[in-house]
Structure 1
Amino acid sequence: MLEVFTVCTGNICRSPFAEIVLQDELGHRGVHVASAGARAMIDSPMTPEAMQLARQYGVPDDLISGHRARWLNESHLVEPDLVLAMTREHRRAVVELAPAQTRTTFTVREFARLAAAVPDADAHAVADAAGTDPAARLRALLARLTAVRGELDPPADPTADDVIDPYRRSWEVYEQMAAELMPSLGEVVRVLDIAIGPHAGSHS
């Protein structure tokens, strides 16, 4: 079982949207995804707009309606193999709470930018060299992404690694959030699929 954790501010828009999309995509492959907010609106459901977006992307209602916001604390950061923050500010909050997670914490758009620079063949070779354990394979892949971080020029606009906050904003901003998140989550799914490898059978 791989553990993935997503983090935003209120835990009612961005991080739960990312959480349930990934859970829907990867749950059947043995990945567990959870989320919390750095300043969470505790016990609140997702916003109606975030729920509507998730439905448009085919996420089942039980995943959508089951979400309740949680306040991020150190206990959430003990288990995850990968932490995906929605912005650089959220990444800093995670690393301050759990310095041990520095090498496994990325903003979701940074993760996608780095992963896009590692072709499938390279990623498979890195993972296979680490053996058959999915957690070990993912650690090797994350180390490769961290190395890529040193090889690539950073974005000209640093906010390119952040996902826009749609809270209390228009439907168009929610659509922009999804447009920023969905391609990034596609890269996350690709890398996690490689980490899981052919040894874990699909039960879907």
Structure 2
Amino acid sequence: MGRPDGPAAERGGEPERFRLLFVCTGNICRSPAAEIMMRHLLVGGLGGREAARFEISSAGVNAVVGEMMHPDTRDELSPWGLDGPHAGAFRARQLRSAMIRRADLVLGANVRHRGAIVEREPAGLRTTFALREFAALADAVDEGMLPPGDPVKRMHDLVDRARAKRGLVAVDPDDVMIPDPMGRPPEAHRNAVHLITDAVYRITNKVIPLRG
């Protein structure tokens, strides 16, 4: 699928970068976990140089600005060794309209975050999904239809193809929920990170080209 010229189209019209923004409520549990896990999987699958072409960030619709990641969610990243500097340097940010306009893809923790994002910035309608909603749509995309090679180009194309499947793929709102673990026991944080990791794995597996 062709992609119109935009902020990511550079050097002869080829996309040089991909900007992905994760959004939740306070930006201290779900969206930072998604940000850190996505970056980790891209580095593991592509290597640091290619992964650096993906700008991964997060924000909250009602952020606890400047706060560190919640310790219970941070602890759930320990099996991947991501509970150290990766999580320790994180600070929560408030979602701004400019962030949405700049992003090539915005993924909210839940459907209501998707609605809040678009309400804040209507221009984000084409690029905004709930995280597990996007994973379900990505699952329905034939990987063979994505352009070979360049992972950034594959990601741009995946967004276009997932958008085209909206309304054609049955997505139950209950199935795309990532419950807010804030104020709940550690098991709730474990469940949230499990759901996030599952979705991010499914997305990155579509984007990282198979090595022959």
Q: TM-score, normalised by structure 1?
A: 0.83
1:202 matched residue in structure 2: none
Q: Deviations over 1:114-149 (max 9, x none)?
A: 111123213x2xx35xx96935x4333212112222
Three-state SS of the structure 1 residue aligned to 2:170 is coil
Match of residue 203, structure 2, among 168, 179, 188: 188
Aligned: 1:151 with 2:168? yes
Structure 1 174/145 Cα, relative in aligned 2: closer, same or farther at 3 Å?
A: same
Seq. identity, %: 32
Map of 1:134 onto structure 2? 152
Partner in structure 2 of residue 201 of structure 1: none
Paired residue secondary structure (1:77): helix
1:67 Cα offset (Å): 0.6
Deviation string 1:146-199 (CA, Å, 9 cap, x unpaired) is: 2222222232xx2211211101101111111122111100122123335xx99x
Distance 1:70 1:132 in 2: 31
Give the distance between the partners of 1:151 and 1:104, measured in 2 at CA. 17
Gaps of 5+ in 1: 199-204
The answer to whether the 8 Å contact 2:138/2:158 transfers is no
Distance 1:40 1:104 in 2: 21
In 2, the alpha carbon distance for the partners of 1:100 and 1:192 equals: 25
Displacement of 1:84 in angstroms is: 0.9
2:94 match: 71
Determine if the alignment matches structure 1 residue 164 to structure 2 residue 179.
yes
Pair 1:140–1:47, CA change in 2 (3 A):
same
Aligned length: 188
Match of 2:28 in 1: 12
Residue 55 of structure 2 corresponds to 32
Give the equivalent residue in structure 1 for 2:14.
none
From 133, 136, 142, the equivalent of 1:110 is 133
Contact 2:19 2:56 in 1 (8 A): yes
Q: Is the 8 A contact 2:41 2:201 kept in 1?
A: no
State whether residues 103 and 142 of structure 1, in contact with CA within 8 Å, keep that contact through their aligned partners in structure 2: no
| 1:110 CA displacement | 0.4
Q: Hey, what's the Cα distance between the residues in 1 that align with 2:151 and 2:79?
A: 35
What residue number does 2:12 align with?
Answer: none
Runs of 4+ in 1 over 4 A off after TM superposition: none
Shift of the alpha carbon at 1:102? 1.1
- 2:144 counterpart SS class: helix
Give, in whole Å, the separation in 1 of the partners of 2:55 and 2:83.
16
> What value does the CA root-mean-square deviation take over the aligned residues?
2.1
Q: Residue 60 of structure 1: CA displacement?
A: 5.9
When structure 1 is superposed on structure 2, of 60-69 and 34-43 the one drifting more is: 60-69
TM-score, normalised on structure 2?
0.80
- Any stretches of 5+ residues in structure 2 without a counterpart? 1-16
> What SS does the aligned partner of 2:137 have?
helix
Matched residues in 2 for 1:80 and 1:105: separation? 9
- Alignment pair present for 1:177 and 2:192: yes
Question: How does 1:35-50 map onto structure 2 within 5 Å?
Answer: 35-50=58-73
